[in-house]
Structure 1
Amino acid sequence: MTVIKNRAFLKWAGGKYGLIEDINRVLPQTRRLIEPFVGAGSVFLNSDYDEYLLNDVNADLINLYKLLQSEPDEYIKQAGELFVPQYNDKDRYYDIRAKFNESTDTFERAVYFLYMNRHGYNGLCRYNLKGGYNVPFGRYKKPYFPEKELWLFAEKSQKATFTNLCFREIFKQAKSGDVVYCDPPYAPLSPTASFTSYSGQGFKLKDQQDLALMAEQTSQSGIPVVISNHDLALTRELYQQAKLEEIKVKRTISQKAGKRTKVGELLALY
């Protein structure tokens, strides 16, 4: 029997849609799933827990999720108004990007965030050091408005609590009956291959080390932890206390399909 998977409404570098079967195979069925790095939410959307604690350091992302949880009708209506031909235009895109960077209105920023995600280059989410969104125009023929996916997320989000905290704070909230799944910004394959600035702040080696240490300590309290990352000498050293599973996944960062090669990934099971 073919299992129907649910797609996230956001395009997301490093999204876990292609790894759902592997991740679900190793995630224990407990009461609550905690995701310190929820991203686009593919694991959340394709798992079945009583409760979810979903966190991300990207405040715009979490703000969007909270609005979709509490005001889905109005949010989806207003977001859809930007998915018309006249807004699929380079000048319009840069005008909206500028308005987003100047705005302090949470609803307005959430509407613009989805627009830029679907109209910007390759679905990237990136900020400069001053916190300004700086992804260029994507030049797509007809950007897709993910209305069905938005409603699916809004419905399932009623089981979730959303937070915008450091992952270290989220680990402190884990208790018996939880399982923690971590999809951190990946250790780069090369010095120029890192997509760690989507929150306006990088994810450094010290962060990778702290995450591995907290996963080990949390598992010793009887709370299972699973971490995804690139299969590198560095990550194998970091996760040496975990059971490691090797998997292959096709990455979609490169815009040229011929360059989307499979790279090794690890699932570290604590």
Structure 2
Amino acid sequence: MSTILKWAGNKTAIIPELLKHLPTGPRLVEPFAGSCAVMMATEYPHYLVADINPDLINLYRTITEDCENFILRAKAVFESFCLAENYYRVREAFNYDHEINTFHRAVYFLYLNRHSYRGLCRYNQRGGFNVPFGNYKKPYFPENEIRAFAEKAKRATFICASFDETLNMLQPGDVIYCDPPYDGTFNGYHTAGFTDDDQYHLASILVRRSSEGHPVIVSNSDTSLIRSLYRSFIRHNITAPRSMGVKAGDGKSAPEIIAVSKFASWAGFDPASGPDRTVVHGV
């Protein structure tokens, strides 16, 4: 099952490896919602799914609350607005028409995502969605994915919150999976971006939460900064497909790390292969 959205950093391609490191628990907490690929691929009793991007959370809440009406309206927009000039009209309304209600804003967000260049989600400093038209012949309408998402979302709570706010809401037994904007790659999916200071702040919280007994699993780039920040975790090196943030001539893959707290390793899988086991995907 693919995801509703086209999304930079979508975890679908590495789900088989990621699942090895996610222990059981009563609830999975994701402070970086993204495409919700991990939620869709797992079977936790409950989910707390958060993101700082209000458009993303609004889409997920709207589908959860009114799935069939959303499909009806979104499909009509896909069928009626297929040209470049239509795309820019929708983008203009999305950015500047403050009379648009949350339901239609969710419809427009899906439309923009599926029609924009490479499915990027990018905002300028004023908060305007600024990705150009993708010029696709027939953008895919994810009807089956929307229905599957609405069914799984019955177990989930969606909140618009920062990662530190989300991680302050932990309950005993929660499993934490973090997929932040990767170090050294595109991170403008929200106006504020994601800086090195944010990487440091996130890691410090996760190290503390791990010491309190929460299983913590983190995906990120394989860089010296990330290796240093998660040096107390067990690191699993993978080569993952990537279409952005890869230098010309480097192909369509890049080294990444799945960093796993030692508590998670005890609870969920056999860490006997050591801290730097290498698994290759997509090459």
TM-score by length of 1: 0.92
Identify the residue that residue 191 of structure 1 maps to in structure 2: none
Identify the residue that residue 29 of structure 1 maps to in structure 2: 24
Identify the residue that residue 41 of structure 1 maps to in structure 2: 36
Question: SS of the counterpart of 1:82?
Answer: helix
Q: Does 1:241 align with 2:232?
A: yes
Q: Does 1:64 align with 2:59?
A: yes
Question: SS of the counterpart of 1:162?
Answer: strand
Runs of 4+ in 1 over 6 A off after TM superposition: none
Identify the residue that residue 83 of structure 1 maps to in structure 2: 78
1:223 to 210, 214, 217: 214
Amino-acid identity (%):
44
Contact 1:103–1:109 (CA<8 Å) still a contact in 2? no
Q: Does 1:8 align with 2:10?
A: no
Q: Does 1:171 align with 2:167?
A: yes
Identify the residue that residue 14 of structure 2 maps to in structure 1: 19
Residues 1:259 and 1:74: Cα distance change in structure 2 (over 3 Å): farther
Paired residues in the alignment total 258
1:93 to 82, 87, 96: 87
1:259: how far off? Answer: 6.4
For structure 2, the residue ranges without an aligned partner over 5 or more in a row are 262-283
Q: Provide the rounded CA distance (Å) in 2 between the counterparts of 1:226 and 1:254.
A: 22
Contact 2:186–2:245 (CA<8 Å) still a contact in 1? no
Residues 1:36 and 1:254: Cα distance change in structure 2 (over 3 Å): closer
Contact 2:121–2:131 (CA<8 Å) still a contact in 1? yes
Question: SS of the counterpart of 1:34?
Answer: strand
Contact 1:119–1:143 (CA<8 Å) still a contact in 2? yes
Q: Provide the rounded CA distance (Å) in 1 between the counterparts of 2:172 and 2:165.
A: 17
Letter in 1 for 2:40: L
Letter in 2 for 1:125: C
Residues 1:44 and 1:113: Cα distance change in structure 2 (over 3 Å): same
Q: Provide the rounded CA distance (Å) in 2 between the counterparts of 1:186 and 1:103.
A: 32
1:147: how far off? Answer: 0.3
Deviations 1:88-126 (A, max 9, x none): 211110000000002342111111000010000001000
Contact 1:12–1:39 (CA<8 Å) still a contact in 2? yes
More displaced 10-residue stretch of structure 1: 167-176 or 110-119: 167-176
Deviations 1:159-201 (A, max 9, x none): 000001110011111122110000000001xxxxx32111111
TM-score by length of 2: 0.88
Contact 1:250–1:260 (CA<8 Å) still a contact in 2? no
Contact 2:4–2:35 (CA<8 Å) still a contact in 1? yes
**Cα root mean square deviation, aligned:** 1.6
Contact 2:186–2:244 (CA<8 Å) still a contact in 1? no
Question: SS of the counterpart of 2:87?
Answer: helix
